[in-house]
Amino acid sequence: MNIMLTNVLNTAARGLFYYLFGFTFVFGSPSNGFIGHHFLGMKAFPSELFHYSNFLYQWAFSIAVVGITSDSIADRNLVCHLPHLLCRTAVTTTLAGCMAALTTLFGKRLISKHWNITDVCNGLLGEFVAITSGCSVVEPWAAIVCGFIASWVLIGCNKLAKKFKYDDPLEAAQLHGGCECWGLIFTGLFVRGIYVQEVYQATGRPYGLFMGGGGKLLAAQIIQILTIGGWVSATMGPLATMGPLFYVLNKMNLLRISAEDEMAGMDMTRHGGFAYVYHDEDEQSLKQGGLMMRIIEPANGTPTSN
């Protein structure tokens, strides 16, 4: 768990730092002979000297440095020969995910007092959902804003789900529903007009409110959210196709397992034994033929040599 968390956070933190000043220090020529000072925060980027693909390529090598110490990164040969548009999309998606991972880590730490790799990974996924709508038509700094807010949207949606006892242990609705709603609103606020023309090969299209494009795109995005919400409500509601099916399954006691089965785990109650056993003192799991994963406790005292 420690290695996994370290590697995820290494990737996320270095993504942001490399965006802010890492690439600048190494490649920000002309420099003062010691350290580069151009392209801070990818300002005036891309240029005649460097492209988004250069940033991605060098960032990939920078994150490999920490991974080498734990032998956890096996393949570090990332070469980007993608066109300008795809490279910008990759950069915005990466930076948004980096910010979301770090924000979720520290946000959940404040709430639960734990450093949780699962929360970090879900924060990453939530941001990838959110940035999808505008990844090719926003600036890198805007993608970072998207990632920051998306992580709090996910945390807030999870709080609401717990409050209203909504049973979704995978956080699917909160992640794909809540974060995507934010992603659509984000697009209506931060899309650049010049990128819209570049991507869609058309002039006169609306773009982000905060970028001087007026509120037409934002209004369209909100209408889309309401339309999708209405469609889901109509098809999944009590009078629609799935509503009666869930009702019948509930009456037949097939919709949910019992509370006892839920607490014991379906591996044990429905499938004959644990796939993985995490506690070597669990005698019942040993009898079920599960795969033992023993916990090795540190030995007391100082090791002696023969």
Question: What would the pLDDT profile of 20-32 be if each residue is shown by its tens digit?
Answer: 888 888 777 766 6
187 and 222: one domain? yes
Q: Which positions ≥6 away from 22 have C-beta within 8 Å?
A: 14, 59, 62
So what's the pLDDT on residue 277?
58
Helix locations, 191-274, DSSP H: 193-200, 216-236, 242-251, 259-264, 266-269
103 and 35: one domain? no
Is the pLDDT reported for residue 161 higher than 50? yes
CA distance 49 to 8: 31
Q: Give the count of beta carbons closer than 10 Å to the beta carbon of residue 61.
A: 11
CA distance 36 to 49: 14
* Mean of all residue pLDDT scores within the chain: 79
158 and 177: one domain? yes
Residue 148 lies in a domain: yes
Domain count, the chain: 2
Token pair recorded at residue 114: 């734990």
97 and 216: one domain? yes
Would the pTM of this model clear 0.75, i.e. be above it? no
25 and 140: one domain? no
Residue 33 lies in a domain: yes
119 and 49: one domain? no
Residue 154 burial (C-beta neighbours within 10 Å; 0-12, 13-18, 19+): buried
Distances (CA, A) of 37 to 13, 28, 41: 20, 5, 11
157 and 135: one domain? yes
Lowest model confidence (mean pLDDT) among 22-36, 117-131, 239-253: 22-36
Which domain does 35 fall in, by range? 1-77
Beta pairing class for 276-277 and 291-292 = parallel
86 and 72: one domain? no
Helix/strand/coil for 63: helix
